[in-house]
Each structure stands twice: as C-alpha cells, then as structure tokens.
C-alpha cells in the first residue's frame, strides 16, 4: 500500500552479509536477526551463550 500512495519503502530486501574464516579458537557462532541485536549487546549475547554451554 505504501507504494500506491508514493511513500518510500522503509524496509530493505538486502541482508547484511559478512564472510569470516572459522578458526579452531572459535567456540561457537551466534546467528541472530536484527531484533536480537536491537536489544542485546555482543557481550550479553556471548555471556548467555557461555552460560548455556556450561562454561
């Protein structure tokens, strides 16, 4: 409907993508949507992951 009335599109269909080389030092990978990163920091996310893994 927004396009019908000439409004701009407010959502992007293009994801943010990063390529990384996985190394033996990595304990886990966190993949999450932007909704998670809107409310959690990297540190709190890693703390929760470590806690759930029993570290």
Q: Per the structure, how many domains does the chain have?
A: 1
Residue 12 is assigned to a structural domain of this protein? no
Residue 32 is assigned to a structural domain of this protein? yes
In the chain, where do the E strands start and end? none
Tens of pLDDT, residues 7-52: 666 777 787 788 999 999 998 888 888 888 889 999 999 898 888 8
Is-above-0.75 flag for pTM? no
- Angle made by CA atoms 11, 12, 14, in degrees to the nearest 5: 160
Provide the residue range defining the domain that includes 42: 17-55
Residue 37 is assigned to a structural domain of this protein? yes
pLDDT of residue 1: 52
């Amino acid at each position: 409907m927004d396009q019908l009335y000439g409004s701009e599109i407010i959502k992007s269909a293009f994801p943010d993508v990063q390529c990384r080389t996985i190394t033996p030092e990595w304990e886990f990978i966190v993949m999450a949507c932007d909704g998670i990163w809107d409310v959690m920091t990297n540190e709190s996310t890693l703390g929760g992951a470590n806690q759930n893994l029993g570290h």
